[in-house]
């Protein structure tokens, strides 16, 4: 298979993995037999294969394994090479470009053709490349391969057409930069050293032209030999020898002195008048010991010797620490300015550094103003103009996270004002201690029209720019030692973000944390000093002991509830540590700066010593004022305007009376235990009805029932008085506490001991081996049977390996039809589960704003159950013309803005009701449902399945979304096998006789 198929060409072919099984009732791609395609739905096709292609748009993050650095002091642009052959070119914030050598060879050295829009790269495969930076995307103009010698060092003087190339054999070659060919002029190593010297001087480690005379070339060999070669006379001016190996050389701007760094941690200063010995030898970090010996030091890998017009010269170098002192110290950069010595410790090893100067000419006073330091995993710039040498705040998106990335989300077609306001607020989040000067790498421009002179380099690369940063940990108290239970739930950071939901129009932002909490943020341009409200939810089934009938007969306590006695306080499961969340919300007024400010925190509680299950789905709707989230135990809906729990129901309760599965228990095995978090499945209709009435909400007082049908399991079921048969008849009316945990209005009754002394407990059945699942043949189609737990294997043996948990995997608020008989669309919550079930929950919301803030909202299961293969991933709504219907939203208003007596602060709602230009279908809409295996298009409110497509049989989808492309919509799918598939609905609806493909 190619890397990316032309996914739209195959819509008329069969789906991958074979045709649908006969039990589906219809082949994939054809409408189901019981729901024919309406003849009045005709959607004009606009998408073709050419609308889709793979292209690189954004590259984010720090360059992987950086190797070298270069700077153009005129254009003020920077280049970073990497070990994988990549080149990152950086200019002013937003100017960011990435290019790659096709060979993938490591970039050893970079050399700008200063102010000419070109760059020379020397790679590990001994090839030189000349890059043109003037075009839209940088490209290689010329390449030159060295076959017999290995490149070790390159030097290109300012405004010179000759590139000097040193090799491992000690020879120096000269390349014409215009034609990019060798000139034939070679400085052989045996001619550079004295004829009497028999030892090889080693590779060339340094090349530079003399500031005093560009016809003089200084050549440094690894062994410690330095030679000045007269290019015109083709002879040596002088030679110097030193016992220690040389790592780098730096000239004084007058061209009369130069400084060398050596492998023993020393710096030597040489004067051209007397080259017999250095005029100065210093060990910056080495001292003379009592016995007269000097401390052994690490090599000084690079030194820069820069003069200043108004102060002493700067000597800046990396390394050189003594071995005794550097054992526990980090890598350092040392700045010697006069008698002052400043050592800057780095978090990562130093790869290379450059000193930025005002002039590109080497024979002028340098006046350095900054040091660019490239680290293995970071990039910093030090301000030399201030005495404390602060660093500049890095404007590039090198690493916007202080910890590993745990969640990503992408939002397109945002309001045009949201990005500037986020940037302006985020720009004020500067940390203290940074330099107040502007970022010194300021080259490049965004558009051609803003050029001031023709040498400016323009980049069109799309880059990621960090706009705003939010820390969720500021909402919670710092846990003290031995306090809190977050550490028992997760091993990593208890504040790690798992999921986000953002409404760009209302600027509401919701965050799900790994410690089973949800934080709701509102955006404000003004600071505030408020308390954070909190709600606590009991979304976990009580642990129940399942006792066999034989034990019940010998235990009279099981038939008489009055014989149950509470467990002593502090005993296991007594609840002394339960009904608590993992983290503690701050219970004092918190000052919140402009930006996103926490308004509400919803936390799941521990139950019976079991931690809350992590949240698996989330959605928020600003127009409804509702927030919904779910996990493997059930669903919670929060009214964040009234700050109340609107609904808290187990997954099984959501079915109401329309449960498509008959979940029958088998005799449990003795001594078999399982973790809590599952509903027990009974073997009679009475217990099923009672099970549906059970709710894990943390609401008001609970009622206890004892079920004692003949020859059946004894159970205790708790139910909330606000829930009858799975329907929420009234919301929780208790106001939430501010800044402290929400405790239930009436304490829960004591836990009952349901087993005799010495008898092992049997907890509720979690294993599929303890249940049998079947479907009533009379009320379900062949397709429903295929979508059951057993998937055409309904026997109890085949259901052993089936997972009995049913998680809420996706949620979507929107205007839809909750029931088939509905004439008008209303607010609904679409719920998708891990078993491929789609449930609709209609919502009744007061229309007047005053009533909305005071009157309760009612919602509950409608009895509508739709079935798919695999876990449900995504919902989307289309009108009958194929246009995407957006969810209603509230227009943003600043909650902390000044009051205007002439204009009352009222909510402004924007609603997109399902409609179409076609009169025949103006009273309905299309619902697109995608699971990890299948996609369906459903006509609402009739709930007729217009189209079914089996996306994959051999793999499964990880992500899916309905996106707008070329004024049309398509379903984009990312498969676990790495394939990207795109489906267009228009073909499916217009040509129902063709099998679908991808």
Residue 746: what pLDDT?
Answer: 32
Alpha-carbon distances of 761 from 704, 706, 756, 828, rounded to whole Å: 20, 18, 9, 42
DSSP SS3 for 305 = strand
DSSP SS3 for 762 = coil
Listing DSSP states for 605-616 in one string gives PPBTTBPPPPP-
DSSP SS3 for 786 = helix
Check: CB of residue 770 under 8 Å from CB of residue 734. no
Q: Tally the C-alpha atoms within 13 A of residue 887's C-alpha that lie toward its C-beta.
A: 25
Where along the chain do its domains lie? 68-395
- Evaluated on CA atoms 932, 937, 941, 944, the torsion sign reads negative
Closest to 819 in 3D by CA, of 648, 730, 941, 913: 941
Return left, alpha or beta for 513; rule: phi > 0 is left, psi -120 to 50 is alpha, else beta.
beta
Backbone angles phi, psi at 441, to 5 degrees: -90, 95
- Evaluated on CA atoms 516, 522, 523, 529, the torsion sign reads negative
Tell me how far apart the alpha carbons of residues 523 and 519 are, in angstroms, rounded to a whole number.
Answer: 13
Residue 619: what pLDDT?
Answer: 95
Check: CB of residue 358 under 8 Å from CB of residue 306. no
Residue 170: what pLDDT?
Answer: 94
Alpha-carbon distances of 282 from 178, 480, 519, 689, rounded to whole Å: 42, 51, 59, 89
CB 561: neighbour CB atoms within 10 A? 14
Tokens of 655: 């079915």
- Diameter of the chain measured on Cα atoms: 115
Residues 6+ apart with CB under 8 A from 762: 545, 546, 547, 548, 668, 670, 671, 672, 673
Report the chain's terminal Cα–Cα distance, integer Å. Answer: 13
Query: How far, rounded to the nearest angstrom, does the alpha carbon of residue 775 sit from its chain's CA centroid?
Result: 41
Listing DSSP states for 370-422 in one string gives EEEEEESS-EEEEESSSTT-PBPPP-S-S---SS---------S--TTHHHHH
CB 492: neighbour CB atoms within 10 A? 10
Backbone angles phi, psi at 552, to 5 degrees: -65, -35
Tell me how far apart the alpha carbons of residues 398 and 228 are, in angstroms, rounded to a whole number.
Answer: 41
Q: Tally the C-alpha atoms within 13 A of residue 43's C-alpha that lie toward its C-beta.
A: 29
Residue 561: what pLDDT?
Answer: 34
Closest to 172 in 3D by CA, of 145, 157, 152: 152
Residue 956: what pLDDT?
Answer: 93
Tell me how far apart the alpha carbons of residues 739 and 850 are, in angstroms, rounded to a whole number.
Answer: 26
Secondary structure string (H, E, C) spanning 838-898: EEEEEEECCCCHHHHHHCCCEECCCCCEEECCCCEEEEEEECCCCCECCCCEECCCCCCCC
Alpha helices in 180-316 (DSSP H): 189-192
Tell me how far apart the alpha carbons of residues 120 and 479 are, in angstroms, rounded to a whole number.
Answer: 54
Check: CB of residue 265 under 8 Å from CB of residue 319. yes
Tokens of 638: 């929060």
The neighbouring-strand residues paired with 876 are 928
Check: CB of residue 833 under 8 Å from CB of residue 616. no
User: What does the buried/exposed string (b/e) look like for 517-533 if buried means 16 or more CB atoms within 10 Å of the residue's CB?
Assistant: bbbbbbbbeeebebbbb
Tell me how far apart the alpha carbons of residues 212 and 215 are, in angstroms, rounded to a whole number.
Answer: 9
Listing DSSP states for 884-938 in one string gives BPPPPEEPP--TTSPP-TTS-----EE------SSGGGTT-EEEEEEESSEEEEE
Residue with the two structure tokens 């030193």 = 242
Check: CB of residue 792 under 8 Å from CB of residue 780. no
Alpha-carbon distances of 64 from 60, 374, 376, 380, 902, rounded to whole Å: 11, 12, 8, 16, 58
Tell me how far apart the alpha carbons of residues 305 and 355 are, in angstroms, rounded to a whole number.
Answer: 9
| Sheet with 267-271, side-by-side order of all strands | 246-251, 257-262, 267-271, 280-282
At 70-105, the pLDDT tens digits run 999 999 999 999 999 999 999 888 788 889 999 999
Tell me how far apart the alpha carbons of residues 255 and 215 are, in angstroms, rounded to a whole number.
Answer: 12
Q: Is 198 exposed, middle or buried (0-12, 13-18, 19+ CB in 10 A)?
A: exposed
At 313-362, the pLDDT tens digits run 999 999 999 887 655 678 999 999 988 999 999 989 999 999 999 899 99
Residue 579: what pLDDT?
Answer: 77
Task: Classify domain 68-395 by CATH number.
Answer: 2.130.10.10
Check: CB of residue 807 under 8 Å from CB of residue 630. yes
Residue 188: what pLDDT?
Answer: 93
Q: Low-confidence residues of the chain, pLDDT below 50?
A: 1-37, 447-456, 460, 542-576, 664-803, 915-921, 987-998
């Amino acid at each position: 298979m190619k890397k990316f198929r032309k996914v739209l060409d195959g819509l008329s072919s069969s789906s991958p993995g074979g045709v649908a099984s006969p039990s589906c009732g219809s082949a994939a791609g054809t409408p189901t037999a019981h729901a024919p395609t309406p003849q009045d739905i005709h959607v004009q096709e606009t998408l073709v294969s050419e609308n889709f292609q793979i292209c690189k748009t954004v590259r984010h993050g720090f360059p992987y394994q950086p190797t070298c650095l270069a700077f153009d002091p005129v254009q003020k642009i920077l280049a970073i090479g990497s070990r994988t052959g990549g080149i990152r070119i950086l200019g002013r914030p937003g100017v960011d470009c990435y290019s790659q050598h096709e060979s993938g060879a490591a970039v050893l050295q970079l050399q700008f053709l200063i102010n000419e829009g070109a760059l020379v790269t020397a790679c590990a495969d001994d090839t030189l490349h000349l890059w043109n930076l003037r075009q839209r995307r940088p490209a290689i103009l010329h390449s030159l391969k060295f076959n017999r010698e290995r490149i070790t060092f390159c030097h290109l003087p300012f405004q010179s057409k000759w590139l000097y190339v040193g090799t491992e054999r000690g020879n120096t070659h000269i390349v014409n930069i215009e034609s990019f060919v060798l000139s034939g002029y070679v400085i052989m190593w045996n001619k550079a050293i004295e004829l009497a010297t028999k030892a090889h001087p080693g590779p060339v480690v340094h090349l530079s032209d003399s500031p005093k005379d560009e016809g003089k070339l200084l050549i440094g060999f690894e062994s410690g030999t330095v030679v000045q070669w007269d290019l015109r006379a083709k002879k040596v001016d002088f030679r110097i020898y030193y016992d220690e190996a040389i790592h780098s050389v730096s000239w004084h701007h007058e061209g009369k002195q130069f400084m060398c760094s050596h492998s023993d941690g020393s710096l030597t200063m040489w004067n051209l008048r007397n080259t017999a010995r250095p005029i100065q030898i210093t060990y910056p970090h080495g001292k003379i010991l009592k016995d007269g010996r000097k401390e052994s030091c690490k090599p000084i890998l690079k030194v820069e010797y820069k003069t200043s017009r108004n102060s002493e010269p700067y000597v800046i170098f990396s390394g050189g620490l003594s071995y005794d002192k550097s054992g526990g110290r980090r890598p350092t950069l040392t700045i010697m300015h006069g008698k002052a010595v400043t050592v800057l410790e780095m978090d990562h090893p130093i790869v290379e550094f450059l000193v930025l100067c005002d002039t590109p000419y080497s024979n002028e006073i340098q006046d350095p103003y900054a040091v660019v330091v490239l680290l293995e995993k970071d990039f910093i710039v030090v301000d030399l103009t201030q005495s404390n040498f602060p660093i500049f705040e890095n404007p590039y998106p090198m690493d916007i996270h202080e910890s590993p990335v745990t969640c990503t989300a992408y939002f397109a077609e945002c309001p045009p004002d949201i990005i500037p306001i986020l940037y302006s607020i985020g720009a004020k989040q500067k940390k203290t201690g940074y330099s107040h000067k502007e970022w010194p790498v300021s080259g490049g421009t965004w558009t051609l029209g803003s050029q001031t002179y023709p040498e400016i380099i323009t980049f069109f690369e799309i880059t990621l720019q960090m706009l705003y940063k939010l820390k969720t940990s500021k909402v919670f108290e710092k846990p003290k030692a031995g306090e809190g239970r977050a550490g028992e739930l997760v091993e990593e950071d208890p504040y790690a973000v798992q999921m986000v939901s953002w409404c760009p129009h209302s600027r509401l932002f919701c965050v799900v944390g790994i410690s089973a909490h949800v934080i709701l943020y509102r955006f404000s341009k003004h600071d505030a000093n408020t308390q954070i409200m909190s709600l606590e939810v009991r979304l976990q089934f009580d642990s129940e002991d399942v006792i066999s009938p034989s034990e019940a007969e010998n235990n009279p306590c099981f038939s008489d509830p009055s014989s149950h006695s509470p467990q002593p306080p502090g005993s296991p499961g007594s609840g002394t540590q339960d009904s608590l969340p993992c983290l503690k919300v701050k219970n004092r007024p918190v000052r919140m700066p402009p930006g996103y400010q926490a308004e509400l925190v919803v936390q799941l509680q521990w139950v019976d010593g079991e931690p809350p299950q992590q949240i698996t789905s989330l959605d928020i709707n600003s127009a409804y004022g509702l927030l919904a989230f779910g996990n493997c135990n059930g669903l919670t809906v929060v009214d964040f305007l009234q700050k109340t729990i609107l609904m808290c129901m187990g997954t099984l309760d959501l079915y109401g009376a329309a449960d498509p599965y008959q979940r029958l228990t088998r005799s449990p095995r003795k001594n078999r235990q399982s973790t809590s978090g599952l509903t027990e499945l009974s073997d009679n209709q009475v217990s099923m009805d009672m099970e549906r009435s059970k709710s894990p909400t943390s609401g008001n007082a609970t009622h206890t029932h004892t079920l004692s049908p003949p020859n059946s399991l004894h159970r205790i079921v708790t139910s909330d008085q606000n829930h009858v048969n799975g329907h929420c008849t009234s919301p929780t009316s208790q106001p939430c506490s501010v800044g402290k945990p929400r405790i239930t209005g009436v304490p829960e009754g004591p836990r009952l001991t349901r087993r005799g002394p010495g008898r092992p407990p049997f907890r509720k059945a979690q294993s599929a081996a303890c249940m049998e699942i079947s479907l009533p043949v009379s009320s379900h189609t062949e397709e429903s049977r295929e979508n059951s737990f057993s998937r055409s294997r309904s026997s109890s043996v085949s259901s052993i390996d089936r997972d009995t948990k049913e998680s809420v995997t996706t949620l979507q608020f929107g205007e839809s039809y909750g029931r088939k008989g509905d004439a008008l669309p209303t607010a609904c919550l679409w719920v998708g589960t891990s078993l491929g079930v789609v449930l609709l929950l209609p919502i009744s919301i007061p229309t007047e704003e005053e009533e909305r803030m005071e009157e309760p909202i009612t919602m509950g299961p409608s009895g509508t159950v739709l079935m798919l293969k695999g876990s449900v991933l995504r919902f989307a709504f289309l009108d009958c013309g194929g246009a995407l219907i957006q969810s209603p939203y509230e227009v943003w208003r600043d909650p902390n803005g000044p009051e205007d007596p002439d204009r009352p602060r009222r909510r402004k709602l924007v609603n997109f009701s399902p409609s179409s230009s076609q009169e025949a279908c103006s009273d309905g809409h299309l619902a697109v449902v995608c699971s990890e295996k299948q996609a369906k298009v459903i006509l609402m409110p009739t709930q007729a399945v217009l189209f079914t497509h089996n996306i994959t049989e051999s793999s499964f989808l990880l992500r899916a979304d309905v996106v707008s492309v070329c004024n049309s919509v398509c379903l984009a799918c990312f498969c676990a096998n790495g394939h990207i598939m795109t489906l267009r609905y228009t073909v499916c609806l217009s040509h129902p006789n063709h099998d679908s493909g991808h």
